[in-house]
């Protein structure tokens, strides 16, 4: 499919226009679309009716014809009336940035949860556009048969809207159920006191590669995750347990961020991204070879702020250091590490740093060990820190600091677990 890209830039726009269009091109490539031409216009605001002004629109029209394009992609989220007007003017499929990203997510979603989330995001995107969609139909009807048809168009709009709203409600319910189940899993993990370390970063920065490098370093045959030179290669969160020098932590690979992620998407993926909010440590993976490192850094920081995850301890990974041209790059006042998955630079240091950050792997628990389980009492009495010990009717009560690895043997005697 051949496409033409169009962007409007304002003087205050912090995004360099070429960068914006390059990124849009990559987003289009993610859907196998080939860019055959690109246009941009400098303006204070996008045109309310047709995004770009009349002159630019004529240039685009000519290009559509000359390059035999199949669609035009606009670099912002457009209102329904803008999309409708553009379609009428250009007589070709018109796609806005939000819809493009939604379609990529839709194509990549593989887990039932991701599928539901993307469906929700798409419905939320469509909801305010339904009226316009039907308005056009009723206008056509109206010219033929007058008032009656307009009424029919309007009631159809209401029907569509009700259908969408009902579906949105249904999806939300299903997502809530999934979230409930995940929450219990999370509580169990927390109970086991295994710290959670989340890989976060701009799309294509190397999060999944970093996960794989760490997995391979600690265990040759670790189950790896998909890494690809492609935007949004990862669309669900993946968890892997890592054991390293008596420490254990759960490493979570997450969805990449991109500038101007559609609001409806952040909203729908909030639960998936909740994994990030639960993290004890964030590894912020940065593509240090990107010429747009600052912009990408800003976007990730902003999304972390939106997710209320900006206070979580963070290590910055200056990844792809093997390709970096600016070797003076640094992040003053922060914990950071130059890193490369290609050359394995500083993998060991990263593991050490993570272990330092996630702290001791013990857990304070209240246990009631039956008198018949003398072997378990024996383990507790051997050098563990006991805060309190009491002989009770059904066994010995211990308030004790237990190493995480030993917890599974004691879970069924954990008083807090029994009460739950
Ligand atoms: N040269 C070089 N390439 C790297 C390095 N780390 C990752 N890459 C490449 O960067 C591309 C993206 O890597 P991924 O690990 O899939 O990136 P990601 O952040 O998980 O991307 P999304 O899941 O799409 O958000 C792949 O082609 C990797 O081979 C590195 O240290 N050096
Ligand atoms: Mg990935």
Q: Who lines ligand 1 at CB under 6 A?
A: 201, 203-209, 227-234, 256, 319-320, 322-323, 340-342
Closest atom of ligand 1 to 204 CA is 21
Q: Using CA atoms, how far apart are residues 367 and 398, in angstroms rounded to an integer?
A: 5
Distance CA 372, CA 356 (A): 39
How many Cβ atoms are within 10 Å of 163's Cβ, its own excluded? 12
Q: Nearest Cα to 261, choosing from 20, 76, 98? A: 98
Residue segments in the chain with a per-residue pLDDT below the cut of 50: 136-150, 420
Q: Strand order in 2-9's β-sheet?
A: 34-42, 2-9, 71-74, 93-96
d(CA 251, CA 233): 18
What is the number of residues in the chain?
Answer: 420
Residue 148 has a pLDDT of 44
What fold characterizes domain 194-358? Rossmann fold (3.40.50)
Tens digit of each residue's pLDDT (9 = 90 or more) over 147-164: 444 455 567 778 888 999
Element (H, E) at 2: strand 2-9
Domain boundaries, the chain: 2-97, 112-178, 194-358, 362-419
Atom 7 of ligand 1: nearest residue by CA position: 206
Residue 397's pLDDT is what?
A: 96
- Among protein residues, the one whose CA lies closest to atom 3 of ligand 1: 320
Contact 238, 226 (CB under 8 A): no
From atom 26 of ligand 1, which residue's Cα is the shortest distance away? 229
The bound ligand whose nearest atom lies closest to the alpha carbon of 227 is 1
Q: Return the best residue to mutate from 27, 207, 209, 296 for the ligand 1 pocket (most ligand atoms within 8 A of CB).
A: 209
Atom of ligand 1 nearest to the CA of 203: 25
Which CATH number does the domain 362-419 belong to among 3.30.70, 2.60.40, 3.30.450, 3.90.1070? 3.30.70
* Nearest ligand to the C-alpha atom of residue 319: 1
CATH of domain 2-97: 3.40.50.11060
Give the Å distances, CA to CA, from 9 to 42, 131, 160, 357, 358: 5, 29, 35, 42, 44
CA of 210 to the centre of ligand 2 (A): 9
CA of 113 to the centre of ligand 1 (A): 24
pTM as predicted? 0.77
The predicted pLDDT at position 255 comes to 86
For residue 285, the ligand 1 atom closest to its alpha carbon is 19
Beta-bridge partners for 248: 243
- pLDDT, residue 95, reads 94
The closest residue, in CA terms, to atom 6 on ligand 1 is 206
Domains 194-358 and 362-419 alike in fold: no
Per-residue pLDDT at 134: 52
Contacts of 65 (CB under 8 A, 6+ apart): none
Ligand 1, residue 343: give the atom nearest the CA: 31
Strands 34-42 and 196-201: unpaired
Q: Which of 105, 110, 201, 228 to mutate to test the pocket of ligand 1 (most atoms within 8 A of CB)?
A: 228
Given this model, what pLDDT does residue 147 score? 42
């Amino acid at each position: 499919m051949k496409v033409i890209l169009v962007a409007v830039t304002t003087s205050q726009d912090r995004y360099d226009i070429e960068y914006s269009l390059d990124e849009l091109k990559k987003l289009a490539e993610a859907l196998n679309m080939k860019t055959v031409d690109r246009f941009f216009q400098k303006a204070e605001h996008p045109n309310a009716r047709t995004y770009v002004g009349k002159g630019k629109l004529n240039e685009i029209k000519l290009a559509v014809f000359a390059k035999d394009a199949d669609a035009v992609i606009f670099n912002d989220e457009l209102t329904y009336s803008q999309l409708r007007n553009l379609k009428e003017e250009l007589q070709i499929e018109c796609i806005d940035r939000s819809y493009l990203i939604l379609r990529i997510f839709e194509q990549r979603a593989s887990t039932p949860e991701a599928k539901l989330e993307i469906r929700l995001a798409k419905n939320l995107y469509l909801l305010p556009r339904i009226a316009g969609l039907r308005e056009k139909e009723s206008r056509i009807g109206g010219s033929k048969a007058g008032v009656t048809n307009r009424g029919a168009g309007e009631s159809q709009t209401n029907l569509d809207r009700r259908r969408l709203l009902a579906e949105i409600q249904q999806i939300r319910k299903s997502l809530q159920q999934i979230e409930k189940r995940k929450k219990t899993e999370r509580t169990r993990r927390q109970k086991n006191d295994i710290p959670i370390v989340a890989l976060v970063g701009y799309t294509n920065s190397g999060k999944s590669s970093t996960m794989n490098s760490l997995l391979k370093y600690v265990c040759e045959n670790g189950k790896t995750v998909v890494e690809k030179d492609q935007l949004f290669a990862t669309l669900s969160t993946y968890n892997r347990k890592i054991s390293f020098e008596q420490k254990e932590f759960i490493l979570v690979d997450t969805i990449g961020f991109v500038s101007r992620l559609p609001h409806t998407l952040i909203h729908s993926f909030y639960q998936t991204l909740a994994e990030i909010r639960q993290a004890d440590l964030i590894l912020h993976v940065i593509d240090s070879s990107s010429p747009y490192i600052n912009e990408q850094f800003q976007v990730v920081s902003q999304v972390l702020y939106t997710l209320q995850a900006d206070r979580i301890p963070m290590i910055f990974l200056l990844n792809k250091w093997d390709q970096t041209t600016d070797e003076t790059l640094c992040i003053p006042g922060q914990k950071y590490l130059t890193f490369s998955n290609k050359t394995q630079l500083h993998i060991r240091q990263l593991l050490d740093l993570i272990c330092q950050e996630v702290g001791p792997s013990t857990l304070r628990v209240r246990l009631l060990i039956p008198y018949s389980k003398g072997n378990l009492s024996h383990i507790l009495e051997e050098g563990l820190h006991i805060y309190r010990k009491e002989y009770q009717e059904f066994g010995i009560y211990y308030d004790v600091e237990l190493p995480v690895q030993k917890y599974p043997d004691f879970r069924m005697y954990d008083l807090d677990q029994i009460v739950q």
